[in-house]
Amino acid sequence: MILVVGLGNPGLEYSKTRHNIGFTALDMISKRYSFENWKKKLNGHYAKGVVGNQRTILLKPQTFMNMSGSCVKSFVDYFKIENNNLFVIYDDIDLKLGVMKKKIGGGHAGHNGVKSIFENLQTSNFYKIRIGISRPEQKEKVANFVLSKFSPDELIMVKDVLEKVTNDFEKIIGCSAV
């Protein structure tokens, strides 16, 4: 079984913001692969389904971004998820808008949600699926930038990258169709 975590902040005021791109990705994956309805458990919203031949849990922590790790740790422990079966999808200001990169291990690059997961799991040895949201021109504006909504032109690029993630998800998580 694999666990796919989408990072974001709970609440309607954060819906469709740059920081919630992980939640948006999970909604699209859930729909594409006909996952069960979302349920509440261990301070998160989760859905179970199958991607290719892989039993999969999608998780949206309902803690705020900076405390995502406690929810992820609870799910990892409860469902006995190995590090190599954990995937975290999140926004990355160091990638250009519309770019997606996957890697295992490495640092958190200042992303507080990922940092919280590192701290709670005591490892960085899991898969990170980073979706570029670009960087604001002024460094001191990062907090407001990540909590802002995409412009109509940006939404086109976001939709394209999220469709690519959704359509290529079996390859991204390394499973094949049944």
Residues labelled catalytic: 19
Please choose, from the candidates 11, 45, 6, 4, the residue with its C-alpha nearest in 3D space to the C-alpha of residue 22.
6
Q: How many CB atoms lie within 10 A of CB 68?
A: 32
Euclidean distance between the first and final Cα of the chain, in Å? 15
Coil/strand/helix, residue 43: coil
Please choose, from the candidates 110, 78, 93, the residue with its C-alpha nearest in 3D space to the C-alpha of residue 147.
93
